[in-house]
Amino acid sequence: MQTMAVRQLVRPMQMDDIAQVMEIEQQSFPTMWPPTAFKRELEHNRLARYLAAVERRAEALRPRRMEPPPTPAPRTGLGRFLGGLRHVLAGDGALPPPEARQELVVGFVGIWLLVDEAHVVTIAVRDSHRRRGVGELLLIAAIETALRERQSVVTLECRTSNAVALRLYEKYGFQRVGLHRRYYSDNQEDAYILSASGISTPSYQRRFQRLRDEHQQRCGEYELSL
């Protein structure tokens, strides 16, 4: 089977993506309620930019020799209940299996463009595609979006226990600038407030380009269509 040269595409989220995006949100944040109102965000939130990482069908069917995805954590009764409600709200009962979809959404990121910063409000990756560089690709896309919107600072929150994500953010120049106590409602965990400043400076641009090149060499070609 012929495969596509571009492994993944990051583009603006579309209405047709919402059912798949809600699948990913439910996998990543099973106890979050209410779910994100993506339709309202796309239609009415002028400050928001939502991006989807998409794997086209030919690439989605391409066999890969990669480590298996992590086993999802057991879902509580509450998680199963909320997951069922999400499926009803998303209207995704008729979704074909992932391998049969023309475009498979493998992750998404949401950015709010505030007065003096671009704030990453959410970032999530499909369970089956973790440890494949998708999260880093979405972070690259978020920073690139901030640059195109002439923002010089990117901020986000991260669980204090999420060592893997913290290492990724620190690699891209994010520093801990504060702490939200009991920020996460599921377990009352604290969140670090992280900030990457001066992203438009020549020194950061050199760092950013080097990291983009390293990601591409490690994970393959991709396209940003922002």
Active-site residues: which are they? 157, 169
Indicate the burial class of 127 (C-beta count within 10 angstroms; 0-12, 13-18, 19 or more). middle
According to DSSP, the residues that pair with 180 across neighbouring strands are 191
CB under 8 Å to 64, separation ≥6 — which residues? Answer: none
3-state helix, strand, coil in the chain (%, to 5): 40, 25, 35
Inter-residue contact 2 to 45 (CB < 8 Å): no
**C-alpha to C-alpha distance for 201 and 160, rounded to whole angstroms:** 29
In 10 A of CB 174, how many CB atoms?
24
